[in-house]
Structure 1
Amino acid sequence: MRAFRAAVVLVVGVSVGVVSGCADGRDGSAPATTQAAPAAASDLQDDYLKVIKDVLPSVVQIDASDSLGSGVVYDDKGHIVTNAHVVGREKTFKVTTATGEQPLGATLVSAYPEQDLAVIKLDNVPKGLKAAAFGDSAKVAVGQIVLAMGSPLGLSSSVTQGIVSATGRTVSEGRSGGGTGATIGNMVQTSAAINPGNSGGALVNLDGEVIGIPTLAATDPDMGDSAAPGIGFAIPASMVRTVAGQIVEHGRVTDSGRAALGVSARTVLGDDYRPAGVAVVEVRDGGGADKAGLRPGDIITKLGDAPITTVTSLAEALAALKPGDKERVTYVRDGDERSAEVTLGEM
């Protein structure tokens, strides 16, 4: 998909209006329920309005020559974090802020397709540019109300809402339509729908903190791979800070925090023409696989307890691990099944 972002489903005020004192009406307390519900709804609306006022000025629209997306102001020096698939191969961009001023020029600092993140920098920083506050990914909980801010279909400064549906998802992004092919771990699943122009925007909690960067929508093969309503994914704030912080400081990612076997590989098919494992094409000198004795031609079938049938399944298994972890790799060599303990390196 090309330059998405989250445009949300209506999941509003799940517990609003359920107030204490709402008994069975025998003591005449029923009228209090009907009076309290609007008050609670008004409180929630006030929360929404405050969050929007605080955060929306930090969300921008990004225009490249052949794509449209969103971004989040990372600091007061003009750095903006977005998705790598939003910037694509472009080096220069036009950025429109929430104030609706004339578009500002921006230049790519660096992209990190492996995590589908990128940082661009405004050529001239406008007065009053406001950086967003990024939240703690460890505190994100299922059921939290979230607001999605960005530019779906070019409708800049749009705000929608939903909930956190799940955490800790590992998702693989396709390459068609401009995707990076990245496999990303620990993603936040949200009921926000992902629409063109939404990618790179902000998924925000009611404390006004960015908890994720909306990036992907699930697709339904039974519907011709069209977007599956209500299943979207956002890169967690902790990973955004890790990647963007390194790019801002060093101009590139110096420490990915992503585990790697140290091999180049390809998917192989079994006798039934179905994916049956991952063939090692190249072993990097000094890497984990090299030290464990793996060599080109070996076919990896398991990493720990996870079955490995494709390169994607191998990437997904690695996404849940960290450099330095020790994992047992099961592989086939010359028709014999073998195994070796590998100390994982870094991507």
Structure 2
Amino acid sequence: MSRSPYARIRLLLPVAAATAAVTATALLAAGCSSSDSGSTGTRASGGASRSAAQQAAADTAVSDSGAQGLQSAYQDAVKKVLPSVVQITTGQDLGSGVVYDDKGDVVTNAHVVGDAKTFQVSLATGGKPLTARLVSSFPANDLAVIRLESPPSKLKPASFADSSKVAVGQIVLAMGSPLGLSSSVTQGIVSATGRTVSEGASGGGTGATIPDMVQTSAAINPGNSGGALVDLDDQVIGIPTLAATDPQLGSGAAPGIGFAIPSSAVKRIADQIIDHGKVTDSGRAALDVAVRGVVGQDFQPAGAAIVSVAKGGAAQKAGLQAGDVITKLGGTPVTTVQSLTEALADDKPGQKVPVTYLRNGATRTVQVTLGSL
């Protein structure tokens, strides 16, 4: 199974403040053209000219109607969803969030909240910033829920879509506070689905490897983290979290390549945090081990060495122990800690997979029933 093709991924980290110019782009629907099959050699030239003019006018009307319809769909989505997108300030930084319910719960990225416990939340509808407190954070999926202490009576929760129905080519809008510009909207399409993407642990990241992410061409920038990726049915299909970087540009972003946590995963995690104060069933597979990377005699990455195994966990039950070096999970080679994490991201708890490992220089394979992250 293929893995993420991107060499580098950067977080859409919170930003302090910025100014920018925004250019809106209108998409026009093309009209149909047709020939005048009724024209004959006996028809007066003036009559033929009038027919062509009439057809041109009809084509223009169709084109204008299509453009107006698409524009209206954009505007309706913005009008209905943007009031549910908030700006979250923590210390000197800020990010975005989405109102999840009328009780004041707001879902965002774990890397947006960081180590903070209290926040200032600014609603898109205006008014003074509201105080919120952390409910819980789940860094493994880079998601968190915060709760407004005094939610307003007219708080508008967003509607979350079934992300399994998201299709490549679907028009989407990204809403949030890029570069500190609150209530900003950009447009694009769904470029791909089912991406497995790893974020760095440095620079404020969680180090999470997240499966099934939605890739989009909609412009997303620092400050968009935790905001909303929205379809034209006025539903949130994902939470913008990561953007790709072009290795040839150093830390520069690769334009038009962003990633959002799918809405179905957001709902699963958020519901558990709200109901139980923590995640009780992540739906993510685990070996229940702590590992570190090792290199071979050629000084190239050669596997993930087990540092410790959890008592009663999946690895211990299968007979794995500290000192074993995992080199393959299922049919996927394991050369680094990240490659092991990415391989596990495609599996489910309870699934049985063969794990190939080195022990005392000998290669062995054992069947492991995966645990839960």
- TM-score interval for Structure 1 and Structure 2 normalised by the shorter chain: over 0.9
TM-score using structure 1 length? 0.94
Number of the residue aligned with 1:22: 33
Residues 92-130 of structure 1 show CA distances to partners (whole Å, capped at 9, x for unaligned) of 111000112111111111111111000001110112000
Q: Is 1:233 aligned with 2:259?
A: yes
Is the CA contact 1:9–1:160 (under 8 Å) kept in the aligned structure 2? no
For structure 1, list consecutive stretches of 5 or more residues without a partner in the other structure: none
Number of the residue aligned with 2:297: 271
Number of the residue aligned with 2:236: 210
Query: Which has the larger Rg?
Result: 2
Distance 2:347 2:24 in 1: 35
Distance 2:127 2:37 in 1: 59
Shift of 1:12: 6.2
Number of the residue aligned with 1:312: 338
Number of the residue aligned with 2:278: 252
Distance 1:269 1:302 in 2: 15
Distance 1:120 1:180 in 2: 17
Is the CA contact 2:109–2:241 (under 8 Å) kept in the aligned structure 1? yes
Distance 2:25 2:366 in 1: 48
Residues 16-43 of structure 1 show CA distances to partners (whole Å, capped at 9, x for unaligned) of 5234x43367675454323211210100
Alignment of 1:66-105 (within 5 A): 66-105=92-131
Number of the residue aligned with 2:75: 49
Shift of 1:153: 1.1
Shift of 1:11: 8.1
Distance 1:11 1:290 in 2: 57
Shift of 1:10: 7.9
Number of the residue aligned with 1:187: 213
Shift of 1:321: 0.8
Q: 1:146 aligns with which of 172, 176, 180?
A: 172
Aligned residues: 342
Distance 2:130 2:241 in 1: 23
Is the CA contact 2:186–2:219 (under 8 Å) kept in the aligned structure 1? no
Number of the residue aligned with 1:3: 14
Q: 1:122 aligns with which of 148, 171, 177?
A: 148
- More strand as a share of residues: 1
Number of the residue aligned with 1:63: 89
Distance 2:170 2:84 in 1: 21
Residues 202-243 of structure 1 show CA distances to partners (whole Å, capped at 9, x for unaligned) of 000000000000000012222113221111000000110011
Matched to 2:366, the amino acid is A
Alignment of 1:157-172 (within 5 A): 157-172=183-198
Q: Cα RMSD over matched residues?
A: 1.8
Secondary structure of 1:277 counterpart:
strand
Distance 2:146 2:272 in 1: 13
Distance 1:25 1:341 in 2: 71
Distance 2:24 2:280 in 1: 40
Residues 160-218 of structure 1 show CA distances to partners (whole Å, capped at 9, x for unaligned) of 11100000000001022211100000000001233111100000000000000000001
Distance 1:262 1:18 in 2: 56
Number of the residue aligned with 2:355: 329
Is the CA contact 1:9–1:161 (under 8 Å) kept in the aligned structure 2? no
Q: 1:242 aligns with which of 265, 268, 278?
A: 268
Cα distance change of structure 1 residues 315 and 26 upon mapping to structure 2, 3 Å threshold: farther
Distance 1:72 1:94 in 2: 14
Number of the residue aligned with 1:346: 372
Residues 297-333 of structure 1 show CA distances to partners (whole Å, capped at 9, x for unaligned) of 1111111111111110111111111100111111111
Number of the residue aligned with 1:38: 64
For structure 2, list consecutive stretches of 5 or more residues without a partner in the other structure: 1-10, 39-51
Cα distance change of structure 1 residues 116 and 24 upon mapping to structure 2, 3 Å threshold: farther
Distance 2:228 2:294 in 1: 39
Number of the residue aligned with 2:318: 292
Matched to 1:222, the amino acid is Q
Secondary structure of 1:312 counterpart:
helix
Is the CA contact 1:9–1:193 (under 8 Å) kept in the aligned structure 2? no
